[in-house]
Amino acid sequence: MRVLNKDEFKLPYLGKEKFGQLMKIGLEYERGLFYIRNISNIESIKDALSEILNEKVVFTQRCLICGKEFLCLDCKYYETCSSRDLPFHCICKKCSDKDDLYDRYVEKSKQRAKT
């Protein structure tokens, strides 16, 4: 399994055809790094990357509260989550175990709305 950060990752040389395919399905390339520009085709992106790398691809999550990156495998809801291993924001175990989670979530949401 290959773990990638949705914000930046490297790939081996692809050739013009594969590179073009990745750009069409939602990746972007800048300064030697790829990143996800459009997540609407995320399953196609995962499939294409898995084919290129010859192994299953998963993405890290970024905690909405603390900003820490983590893997879905570390989450107690992994088996029932409908968006597991997709590059979205979620809440890490450390933050989800805190009593004031909802208040912290609301505060972070207000901060994000201002930016």
The whole domain housing 99 covers 61-114
Tell me which of 23 and 82 has the higher pLDDT: 23
Domain shared by 31 and 13, yes or no: yes
Nearest-10 crossing angle of helices 42-53, 16-25: 160
Domain shared by 36 and 80, yes or no: no
Which residue's structure tokens are 């395919």?
21
Domain shared by 42 and 79, yes or no: no
Q: Return the H-helix or E-strand segment holding 87.
A: none
On the CB side of 27, how many CA atoms lie within 13 Å of its CA?
Answer: 25
Using the predicted structure, report yes or no on whether residue 115 has a pLDDT greater than 70: no
Domain shared by 11 and 35, yes or no: yes
User: For strand 2-4 and strand 57-59, is the pairing parallel, antiparallel, or unpaired?
Assistant: parallel
At 2-19, the pLDDT tens digits run 999 888 999 999 999 999
Domain shared by 101 and 52, yes or no: no
Which is nearest to 35 in space by CA: 11, 68, 52? 11
Domain shared by 73 and 30, yes or no: no
Domain shared by 51 and 91, yes or no: no
* Average pLDDT rounded to a whole number, residues 30-37: 92
Those residues whose C-beta lies under 8 Å from the C-beta of residue 5, and which sit 6 or more positions away, are 59, 60, 69
**Confidence (pLDDT) at 52:** 94
Domain shared by 6 and 50, yes or no: yes
Domain shared by 65 and 49, yes or no: no
The total of structural domains in the chain comes to 2
At 38-71, the pLDDT tens digits run 888 888 999 999 999 999 998 888 888 888 988 8
| pTM, 2 dp | 0.76
Domain shared by 107 and 68, yes or no: yes
